[in-house]
Structure formats: C-alpha cells, structure tokens
Amino acid sequence: MAFSPSNEIRVDLSGQSAIVTGASQGLGRAIALRLGENGAHVACVARNPEKLTETVGVITAAGGSALAISCDVKDRNSVEAVVDQVSERWERVDILVNNAGITRDTLLPRMSDEEWDEVIETNLRGAFLFTRAASRLMMRARYGRIINMASVSGIMGNPGQTNYSASKAGLIGLTRSLSRELASRKVTINAIAPGFIASEMTEALGDAVLQEVEKRVPARRLGKAEEVADAVLYLSSVSAGYITGQVLVIDGGLTG
C-alpha cells in the first residue's frame, strides 16, 4: 500500500481560547485559521480591522469561534484591554501567539531613530506587553501556552535588518528567560524562528531575489505559512507540556 501523508496535523483545542497578534495576513492569519480549525476560540488582533474581519469570517464560516480586535501592540492600555476582553468573553486565556511584527530595512548608518524604535517597539515591546498581561492569568490558572514568532534573522543576522534582527534576538532571550519563571506554574513559552516563508513580505522582494533565496535554501523552496502554523498548533497543545524555553527553527536547512 502506498504511503499517503496527511496535509495537516489535528489537535483538540475545544474550549480553549487563544490570542493571535498580527492575525490579519500572512503567518498570523494562517496561525489563527489553524487554531480555529482545531476548536479554539480565537481572538484575532491587528491594526487593520477590515482584514481582521476577513480572517474571522473564514473561521466562523467553518463553524469555529473567533473575534476581531483592533489594537496597537505598542500601547500598554490597549494590550491589557484586549486580554481583559478575551478573558471576560471566554473566561480564560490559554494560548498567546506573539506574531505581530514589522520591518524597516536599511543599512545601519542610514537608519533613523524612528526606524529603530518602531521595529523594536512593535516586535519586542508588543510581545512583552501581551506576555506580561496574559501570563498573569495563565499562572493563576496553572496552565498556558505562549509562542513567540522570532526569525532566523535573530539567530544569524541579516544585512540591512539590524533593527529587525535585534528585535527577534530579543524575543529569543525573552523566551528563554521567562521559561524559567513560568515552568513551575505549568505555563510553557517557546519561540519559532521561520526562514523564508511565502508571504506578502517575501513577494515584495521580487522574482529575481526569490530565485536566489531558493538557491541558498537546501530544501530549494520557500516555506509555507501552513507549515509554521502546524508547529504553532503542536506547541499550543497539551502534548507539548514538557517543551519550554526552546527555539524551533523552520527554514528548510538554511541555518544548518
């Protein structure tokens, strides 16, 4: 009998609630859809309410439960209001995926203070604010799953992305340190470091650049958003309870 691999994994998240930042497009959208498909109530968070509505519509049309919440992840009051709203609506916060992120690429000598600050505040401060607010509830419940979306840029660096690489390296440090604080409360925190994943961001690089990227990747292709979403799904599950403080690299062998 020929082996026919399944296209996706399944996890029972029925009754659990999740917050996914940056859920309006790309990886965040794929993650929100995957959690919703597997039974979680999903709070889809981003700045663009129109795109969030589309993500929520897909989840609810398939019989899932989702909520669109517009939020500036850099603002402490807005972040805490989101966590409070989710907790009140679904009486718990079980899963937090810190995916919201931006790039402002340029070489360091030309990088402005604003380009540095905006990337650090969105990518790193935003994750800190959401993690602090959600972890308080998780510790009281003695259960939680936090997944931070890092990047191979935070491991190996990338020319023209000093601000982005620093923010993603910071996420890895946050993950490893906080895992030691939360483990005794049965709250896990892990990071995923994607390489080149097909998305709106990589499409902007153009065909010529993408062809060169594919040559550099041993797998000879870009990753799929769904492949990253499946990793998030597993780390969100009860089965991943003994995995914490880790960085899962999904890059087709790019970093070796």
pLDDT tens digits along 173-230: 999 999 999 999 999 999 999 999 987 767 666 778 788 888 889 999 999 999 999 9
Active site residue 164: yes
Query: Would residue 153 count as lying in a domain?
Result: yes
Beta carbons of 247 and 191 less than 8 angstroms apart: yes
Picking from 17, 181, 178, 186, the residue whose alpha carbon sits closest to that of residue 97 is: 17
Neighbours of 7 (CB within 10 A): 7
Average of per-residue pLDDT across 101-118: 96
3-state helix, strand, coil in the chain (%, to 5): 50, 15, 35
Query: Would residue 255 count as lying in a domain?
Result: no
Q: What mean pLDDT, rounded, does the chain reach?
A: 94
Picking from 240, 166, 171, 152, the residue whose alpha carbon sits closest to that of residue 21 is: 171
What is the predicted pLDDT for the residue at 58?
A: 96
Average of per-residue pLDDT across 98-111: 96
What CATH number should be reported for the domain holding residue 236? Answer: 3.40.50.720
Query: Would residue 155 count as lying in a domain?
Result: yes
Of 7-16, 79-88, 99-108, the one with minimum mean pLDDT is: 7-16
Query: Would residue 74 count as lying in a domain?
Result: yes
- Residue 220 CB partners (closer than 8 Å, separation 6+): 214, 252
Average of per-residue pLDDT across 7-33: 93
Give the SS3 label for residue 202. Answer: helix
Which one is catalytic: 143, 164, 234, 242?
Answer: 164
What is the predicted pLDDT for the residue at 1?
A: 42
Query: Would residue 152 count as lying in a domain?
Result: yes
Query: Would residue 11 count as lying in a domain?
Result: no
Distance of CA 46 to the CA centre of its chain: 12
Q: Which domain holds residue 199?
A: 17-250
pTM: 0.94
Of the pLDDT bands very low, low, confident and very high (cuts 50, 70, 90), residue 3 is very low
Query: Would residue 1 count as lying in a domain?
Result: no
Domain count, the chain: 1
Picking from 151, 63, 142, the residue whose alpha carbon sits closest to that of residue 101 is: 151
Of the pLDDT bands very low, low, confident and very high (cuts 50, 70, 90), residue 2 is very low
